[in-house]
A and B are shown apart, each in its own frame.
Chain A
């Protein structure tokens, strides 16, 4: 009687399956290599993230609240319309204390209509009632120890070697844990892609040797951007360091921001 299976045939089949399994990773690597060779992703060539370390400095004493940065950011990164901002400008108005209240200052009012994109409405407090008023530009603080990266359950957000905190859109599941975790409110869920979105440090610009859009457009030089690993002797970053006393936002959280501020008031958080 002829059987369906014999030892030789079964061994041959098993061998073939094993060979196929072993060949699979090799085939995948080869396919990726061929794809890399023939399709250009449009990404700039020759950028090595380990060779750079970006830093942003913000001078609150120079910000004039024109909102060009917020507008430029929206344009440059195609940020969805509506209350979604990767960078924005806040207006702080600190009123005079009530007479006889034994306090140094009154109430603090903070607003940021449309992220300051189209300027600010008239001051809600009469000028003689204002103790101090100023603008503070805000964006992702490029933390050294980013809480948003820690909480991501799928590892879709990460800190690149050059200091940028980025999101892998293909792996983000849109759970918004990171939106809650960010102490600076720099993240949001995109209503278009339903994934988390944030400042990418204009990664497509910085990798091409351009400045981020907000830094490029700022007319008052309130935003300074530079590469700590390749500092020129007359780098504006170095000048900023040397001539200003700087601080970061919420230092007690231990996030280690790479966004430095000059001229901040204690009311700013």
Chain B
């Protein structure tokens, strides 16, 4: 009986196919990023890259580590919903290194929220500046306990 031999044209076709598939697989390993497909149809390492930014705002918890007394005061009064950095500015530098002096707070900050504006919700305390007493908010209001006078 004659031994079966693959016809040469088929053999060439098989070799060619293997060559094309092999080249494709090789090119793919080179071109597809390492972490592609880790979570989905994208580069998983991108998540880490985006997360590697340094935060600018420290957050209320960081302030609480040293200034718990002031936060305790704040929590008893109307300004309890305020984050420290809403008025005192972004101070992560100060939170990480206490030698960095935080920014000084200026008075016009009060009006940013409390200036009367018809678009503001009615429950929110607002003043018309020219009809309101005095010219310095802190003469009558303690910023941390706004309903108390100094």
Contact = CB atoms under 8 A, between A and B. Distances in A.
Interface of A: 21, 24-25, 28-29, 32, 41-44, 47, 49-50, 61-68, 72, 75-77, 91-93, 119-120, 123, 127, 130, 133-135, 155-156, 158-161, 166-171, 200, 202-205, 207-208, 210-211, 213, 216-221
Contacts of A77: 53
A204 B59 CA distance: 13
Contacts of B30: 24
B42 A168 contact: yes
Interface in B22-64: 26, 29-30, 34, 39-43, 46-57, 59-60
B59 A210 contact: yes
Given A61-B121, A64-B121, A166-B47, A220 B81 contact: yes
B112 interface: yes
Contact of A49 (B43, B47, B121): B47
Contacts of A220: 81, 113, 124
Given A41-B49, A160-B39, A204 B54 contact: yes
A134 B121 contact: yes
User: Which bucket holds chain B's interface residue count?
Assistant: 35 or more
B83 A216 contact: yes
Contacts of A50: 39
Sort A-B residue pairs by CB-CB distance and give the 3 closest, nearest first. Answer: A204-B53, A158-B42, A168-B46
Given A66-B112, A123-B118, A76 B52 contact: no
Nearest to A156: B42
Given A41-B52, A65-B120, A155-B41, A217 B47 contact: no
A170 B48 contact: no
Contacts of A63: 121
Contacts of A216: 57, 59-60, 83, 85
Interface of B: 26, 29-30, 34, 39-43, 46-57, 59-60, 79, 81-83, 85-86, 90, 112-113, 115, 117-121, 124
A64 B42 CA distance: 39
Nearest to B60: A216
Contacts of A169: 46, 49
A119 B112 contact: yes
Contact of A158 (B40, B53, B120): B40
Contacts of B47: 49, 160, 166, 203
A219 B113 contact: yes
A127 B118 contact: yes
Given A43-B49, A217-B83, A168 B39 contact: no
Contacts of B40: 158-159, 161
Contacts of A76: 55-57, 90
Nearest to A29: B34
A204 B54 CA distance: 7
A168 B36 CA distance: 12
Contacts of B124: 64, 220
A221 B78 CA distance: 12
Given A42-B54, A76-B55, A68 B86 contact: yes
Contact of A65 (B48, B51, B86, B119): B119
Given A216-B60, A220-B81, A203 B121 contact: no
Contact of A21 (B26, B48, B117, B118): B26
B121 to A, nearest CB: 6
Given A130-B118, A161-B39, A210-B59, A75 B52 contact: no
Nearest to B120: A64
Contacts of B55: 76, 202, 204-205, 208, 210
A9 to B, nearest CB: 22
B25 to A, nearest CB: 10
